[in-house]
Copies of this chain bind each other. A is one copy, B any other.
Amino acid sequence: MTRYSKQTRLLLAIDCIIFGFDGSNIKLLIIKRGMEPEKGRWSLMGGFLQPKESLKECANRVLNQLTGLEGVYLEQLRTFSEYDRDPVERTVSVAYFALIDINKYEKQLSHDYSAEWFLLSEKPKLIFDHDEMVKLAQKQLRYKASLHPILFELLPEKFTIPQLQGLYEGVYDTSFDNRNFSRKVLSTGLLVKQKEKDKLSSKKGAFYYKLDKKKYKANFQAFLNFIPNPDKFIT
Contacts and interface: CB of A to CB of B under 8 A. Distances in A.
Interface string A1-14: 11110011111100
Interface stretch (A83-91, A162-170, A207-215): A83-91
Q: In which size bucket is the chain A interface?
A: 35 or more
A56 B78 CA distance: 11
Interface in A79-99: 79, 81-83, 88-92, 94
B54 A2 contact: no
A11 B7 CA distance: 7
Number of copies: 2
A54 to B, nearest CB: 5
A199 interface: no
A113 interface: no
Chain A contact residues: helix, strand, loop or mixed = loop
A234 interface: yes
26 contacts: A1-B37, A2-B88, A4-B11, A4-B88, A4-B89, A7-B48, A8-B48, A8-B49, A8-B50, A9-B9, A10-B12, A12-B12, A12-B92, A49-B81, A49-B92, A51-B83, A51-B90, A52-B83, A54-B83, A55-B79, A56-B81, A76-B79, A221-B231, A222-B231, A223-B230, A223-B234
